[in-house]
Amino acid sequence: MLFRKLDVLFFIFAFLVDLAANSLLNKLIRQSLVESSHHVEVLQKDPSSPLYSVKTFEELRLKEELLKGIYAMGFNRPSKIQEMALPMMLAHPPQNLIAQSQSGTGKTAAFVLAMLSRVNALELFPQCLCLAPTYELALQTGRVVEQMGKFCVDVQVMYAVRGNRICRGTNITKQIVIGTPGTVLDWCFKRKLIDLTKIRVFVLDEADVMIDTQGFSDHSIRIQRALPSECQMLLFSATFEDCVWRFAERIIPDPNVIKLRKEELTLNNIQQYYVLCEHRKDKYQALCNIYGSITIGQAIIFCQTRQNAKWLTMEMIEDGHQVSLLTGELTVEQRASIIQRFRDGKEKVLITTNVCARGIDVKQVTIVVNFDLPVKQGEEPDYETYLHRIGRTGRFGKKGLAFNMIEVDKLPLLMKIQDHFNSIIKQLNAEDMDEIEMIDY
Ligand SMILES: Nc1ncnc2c1ncn2[C@@H]1O[C@H](COP(=O)(O)OP(=O)(O)OP(=O)(O)O)[C@@H](O)[C@H]1O
């Protein structure tokens, strides 16, 4: 009998402890949610923040169904780039625009709004064309169109990406086409599925790579040249090297320009660190120490080669971590499934190459690791890729951490990156767990 009573008491006690733990957990979760949305609101009122704006979406004179779509996505106010770019993009007659704004500040949302505003739902042929450098990014942008345009009945999106096979002679009735340059070129010129003379809005996302990288640029420029003179051309990126900017201004007739100053390129909400390491194994150990000491939302780890990415994946799996690997050699189906699983939080860590450096928007990513620094041929730092990679965290004002694993002989490259952006990359001792745990984010 006494045992029975003790059992019951123990059960009640365990239940209460459980309740208390749950309630504390819930409190913490709610608190961090409230804090982060409050934080964004504060940033949107701070004139020096890229999220600042004086206007509301109503004042931007958007169509009613678009306003509903925006509010359904949880957007309250436009960001700076949205506030500045939208009046130019929606003006009559249409105006061309080359625009730069930091990673994760709402460029995609801005040009998607422009496409959705210009489309005529009653005309059943492609009217807006958006080019993106990767399959993943094209799909992601298409999803934003679908979400934001959910109240624009009869407006539909078509994906011109590898793997989406459609027969010659098919009549494409969808009004917005999002694709990668190779497939779009094929659909326009070889298979004659898209009539470029009917395109009203042409968007080049990640415009600097699209006009400057071998392979992309031949295709993108050929498509751009075949567009009618009245077609509105919109170029967006977080980075534009000077020479690329000059080239863009030459190929785009009479453009409006929104350009950042160099000191505005990096975001204060992303704290950057580096860890000095001897060799690859050492980098891996440092990574494990950081991983073990910091509560990670989700993390993206960048390697410079597929080989390194594979090696790291094997090491982490052998040590019992649940990670996924995304590189360009996978089939499109595999790539789509991996990125979806990561978005759904099924894997906490994504190991990848530069294929995911740009544009990918997964809000829960709190940490970016450069397992290898991005370099150009000739062992120069690839400044633009560095900025895009770290911009996978700290989306729309959230806090983020970026860690660089640096072999001693690569330290000068990191210092060049630091000088280039005039930002602070602090050294971290990855063996000092206390130091790691003290990072405030
Ligand atoms: N006005 C807004 N209010 C709240 N959230 C927004 C707003 N605009 C965009 N967002 C959200 O912020 C995140 C980043 O936006 P988006 O992907 O458009 O940024 P980006 O500038 O295109 O980034 P990148 O340079 O990486 O391509 C997305 O999750 C998006 O839904």
pLDDT in tens, 383-423: 999 999 999 999 998 999 999 999 999 999 999 999 999 99
Distance between Cα 231 and ligand 1 center (Å): 25
What average pLDDT does the chain have?
Answer: 89
Which of 200, 232, 223, 202 shows the shortest CA–CA distance to 119?
200
Residue 394 CB less than 6 A away from ligand 1: no
Instruction: Tell me whether residue 212 is exposed, middle or buried, using C-beta atoms within 10 angstroms of its C-beta: 0 to 12, 13 to 18, 19 or more.
Output: middle
Residue 395 CB less than 6 A away from ligand 1: yes
42: enclosing H helix or E strand:
helix 2-45
| pLDDT of 14 strictly over 50 | no
pLDDT in tens, 348-362: 999 999 999 999 999
ipTM of this predicted complex? 0.99
**Alpha carbon distance 247, 330 (integer Å):** 33
pLDDT band at 113 (very low <50, low <70, confident <90, very high): very high
Q: What is the pLDDT of residue 25?
A: 38
Percent of the chain whose predicted confidence (pLDDT) is above 90:
74
Q: What is the pLDDT of residue 37?
A: 64
Q: What is the pLDDT of residue 433?
A: 72
> Is residue 411 within 8 Å of residue 379, measured between CB atoms?
no
Nearest alpha carbon, ligand 1 atom 30: 106
Residue 363 CB less than 6 A away from ligand 1: yes
| pLDDT of 13 strictly over 60 | no
Residue 105 CB less than 6 A away from ligand 1: yes
pLDDT band at 15 (very low <50, low <70, confident <90, very high): very low
Q: What is the pLDDT of residue 168?
A: 80
297: enclosing H helix or E strand:
none
Percent of the chain whose predicted confidence (pLDDT) is above 70:
91
Mean pLDDT value of segment 72-89: 94
Distance between Cα 109 and ligand 1 center (Å): 6
| pLDDT of 32 strictly over 50 | no
Q: What is the pLDDT of residue 4?
A: 52
What are the beta bridge partners of residue 324? 350
What are the beta bridge partners of residue 270? 400
What ranges in 120-259 are assigned the alpha helix state H?
Answer: 135-148, 181-185, 207-212, 216-225, 242-251
Q: Comparing 40-49, 277-286, 409-418, which segment has the lowest mean pLDDT?
A: 40-49
Q: Which residues contact 412 (CB under 8 A, 6 or more apart)?
A: none
| 3-state SS, residue 256 | strand
Distance between Cα 173 and ligand 1 center (Å): 29
| 3-state SS, residue 355 | helix
Which position has the higher pLDDT, 55 or 130?
A: 130
pLDDT band at 29 (very low <50, low <70, confident <90, very high): very low
Which position has the higher pLDDT, 8 or 65?
A: 65
Distance between Cα 316 and ligand 1 center (Å): 31
Nearest alpha carbon, ligand 1 atom 23: 104
Nearest alpha carbon, ligand 1 atom 12: 396
**Alpha carbon distance 342, 90 (integer Å):** 35
Mean pLDDT value of segment 146-170: 93
Distance between Cα 351 and ligand 1 center (Å): 23
pLDDT band at 22 (very low <50, low <70, confident <90, very high): very low
Pocket of ligand 1, candidates 208, 264, 361: which has the most ligand atoms within 8 Å of its Cβ, to mutate?
Answer: 361
Distance between Cα 346 and ligand 1 center (Å): 23
Q: What is the pLDDT of residue 11?
A: 47
Residue 86 CB less than 6 A away from ligand 1: no
Strands (E), 320-390: 323-326, 349-352, 365-370, 375-376, 380-381
Residue 361 CB less than 6 A away from ligand 1: yes
Residue 55 CB less than 6 A away from ligand 1: no
Q: What is the pLDDT of residue 43?
A: 74
Pocket of ligand 1, candidates 58, 364, 395, 398: which has the most ligand atoms within 8 Å of its Cβ, to mutate?
Answer: 395
What ranges in 300-432 are assigned the alpha helix state H?
Answer: 306-318, 332-343, 383-390, 411-421
Distance between Cα 247 and ligand 1 center (Å): 26
Q: What is the pLDDT of residue 431?
A: 76
Pocket of ligand 1, candidates 77, 80, 100, 105: which has the most ligand atoms within 8 Å of its Cβ, to mutate?
Answer: 105
Residue 104 CB less than 6 A away from ligand 1: yes
Tokens for 220, please give them: 């993108």
CA 5 to the chain's CA centroid: 58
Q: What is the pLDDT of residue 244?
A: 92
Side chain identity at 304, as an amino acid letter?
Answer: Q
Nearest alpha carbon, ligand 1 atom 16: 106
Pocket of ligand 1, candidates 84, 101, 108: which has the most ligand atoms within 8 Å of its Cβ, to mutate?
Answer: 108
Nearest alpha carbon, ligand 1 atom 1: 78
Mean pLDDT value of segment 318-326: 94
Q: What is the pLDDT of residue 415?
A: 97
Main-chain dihedrals φ then ψ at residue 69, nearest 5 degrees: -65, -40
pLDDT in tens, 185-203: 999 999 999 999 999 999 9
Which of 49, 115, 120, 58 shows the shortest CA–CA distance to 81?
49
Q: What is the pLDDT of residue 35?
A: 47
Tokens for 276, please give them: 């000095």
Distance between Cα 221 and ligand 1 center (Å): 27
